[in-house]
Amino acid sequence: MRLVECVPNFSDGRNREVIDAIAAAIAAVDGATLLDVDPGAGAHRTVVTFVGEPEAALEAGFQAIRTAAERIDMRRHRGEHPRMGATDVFPFVPVAGVTMAECVQLARRLGARVAKELGIPVYLYEQAATRPQRRSLADVRAGEYEGLAAKLRDPAWKPDFGPAKLNPRSGATAIGARKFLAAYNVDLNTAERKYAVRVAKRVRELGLPIRAIGWVIPEYRCAQVSMNLIDLDRAGLHDAFDACERIAGELGLRVTGSELVGLVPERALLDAGRHYLRRMGRSPGAPHEELLETAVRTLGLGDVAPFDPQQRIVERRLLRADRLAALSLEGFAARLGAVTPTPGGGSAAALAASCGSALAAMVAGLTYEQQGAAPELRAELDPLAVAAQEAARTALRGVDEDAAAYESVRAASRLPRRTPEETAARAAALDAANRRAAQTPLALLAALPQVVETLETLVRRGHPACTSDVLAAAALVVAAADAAHANVLANLPGIGDRRWTARQRGRADSLRRAVLRRAAAVAARARRMLAAAAGSRKGGGG
């Protein structure tokens, strides 16, 4: 699936009818999924998050901007947040299968249409900017709505699309393409704005990719450092929170918690969870649920409003409730044993790989947290534990991916073939479906060498009490490799391109041989260690 995320900000956070109309305009577009509507009365601003395939996102974006232009009059707007238009800002963010360059093109197409059909001046910003001085949203929005008429008269600020004159009702709109931006506010134990302003100023001086201002939200009865984290790879939630906490302490203040506005990618909270576990001397290779709980508790994300990770994390909002991976162990075993083609061997292979990777993460974590573990050992195990946990999570997704791939083969096989055209279309669909069904287990095979590499380290450096777990993990990886390899071979005959199938078979054969050889070496060493330990205990007791 090709997915783009859009996070438009509209200049109304108080009129529910207006907010609902904008949300409805987005939801009415086929292929667009509305994820979140987050109004703020104090800021008088609503942040909407939706995702969709590129063309659906483009259409939903235009319908939302048109609805906002019809319903919002900027001449009467007053609010805490900087703004220059009814639709103040509209970013396209690549999520899956879409490049930044494609998002830039989407921004430019939307900008041209908004200007032509709605008569609203449009500035392109961030990655879509047409000149360096327009990359920063803060620079584009400088002067806000009140200074917009004068700005439009300045030749240096001629809009990228639309008339260089004020649209009194709608103002102007910034449309762009960017990395994921997290809107994040840190709460202070004061209701005086001046203190939040001081903290925000010091945060800006740190040189991090963080935009910060200070304000007071009356309904929260506290001052906040309101931040946009524009590059989560360079400055995450934990970096912003820790900076505010340190600076506030130096000013005699306390941070009481924080607030996320809109949605956030899961990795932002996982990174925060790992950061705080490391500070506790704990292994960062913990399961995702533990990482999330650590992040939510430490950041105080429920301080001013409830925080539900299932509703506020982008990826979790897109998960289907009926997926196989969400079943209980008993439920999955029952589905696996049912007289139906799916789930089948490919899903079982993915589950085995997930279990083997999870055991590797457990051994790395227990070794990391053992009393007296040397710093160099922890430094070695830190990335291994994290990578093993991620491998377990990725493999688990394969349970559903494999079942879906096979279902696509079944669906293609049921297509009509009453005419030559239908027969050709069916053949093409079957070929594509079989490729998918072969590539899914092949991707699982390709991920297993990294797991084996981790086990090779753990059988040498892991805690001796975990040797049997390393052996079990190696056995599970072997089972996953054999089963995945079999599923690759099972789907290749349905593909017409014999050169392509020969390459895929050769790759699958090579990966399987390498995994089995290396896993066998790990298992052999683990068995020797277990035998030596058993012999030592027997001798000592006689």
* Nearest-angstrom CA–CA distance, 290 and 305: 21
| Active-site residue (options: 187, 402, 469, 485) | 402
Pairing of strands 32-40, 173-177: unpaired
HEC string of 46-107 equals: EEEEEEECHHHHHHHHHHHHHHHHHHCCHHHCCCCCCCCECEEEEEEEEEECCCHHHHHHHH
> CB under 8 Å to 76, separation ≥6 — which residues?
none
Is residue 308 annotated as part of the catalytic site, yes or no? Answer: no
The first and second tokens of residue 277, run together, are 């576990």
Closest of 386, 370, 379, 373 to residue 454, by C-alpha: 386
> Which residue type, as a one-letter code, is found at position 350?
A
**Rounded to the nearest 10 degrees, how much is the dihedral formed by the CA atoms of 441, 345, 389, 233?**
30
* Nearest-angstrom CA–CA distance, 312 and 490: 40
Pairing of strands 32-40, 45-52: antiparallel
* Nearest-angstrom CA–CA distance, 126 and 41: 27
Residue carrying structure tokens 């939706």: 50
> Which residue type, as a one-letter code, is found at position 21?
A
* Nearest-angstrom CA–CA distance, 150 and 169: 16
> Do residues 229 and 240 lie in contact, with contact meaning Cβ atoms separated by under 8 Å?
yes
> Do residues 144 and 82 lie in contact, with contact meaning Cβ atoms separated by under 8 Å?
yes
The β-bridge partners of 5 are 51, 93
Q: Is the peptide bond preceding residue 449 cis, with omega within 30 degrees of 0? A: no
Is residue 402 annotated as part of the catalytic site, yes or no? Answer: yes
| Active-site residue (options: 12, 44, 77, 81) | 81
Q: Rounded to an integer, what is the distance from CA 345 to the centroid of its chain? A: 29
Q: Rounded to an integer, what is the distance from CA 393 to the centroid of its chain? A: 13
- When computed from its CA atoms, the radius of gyration of the chain, rounded to whole angstroms, is 27
Which backbone phi and psi does 114 adopt, to 5 degrees? -60, -45
* Nearest-angstrom CA–CA distance, 114 and 102: 18
The first and second tokens of residue 315, run together, are 């990826």
What is the full DSSP assignment across 127-182? TT-SSGGGS-HHHHHTTTGGGHHHHHHSGGG--SBS-SS--TTTB-EEEEE-S--E
Active site residues: 81, 402
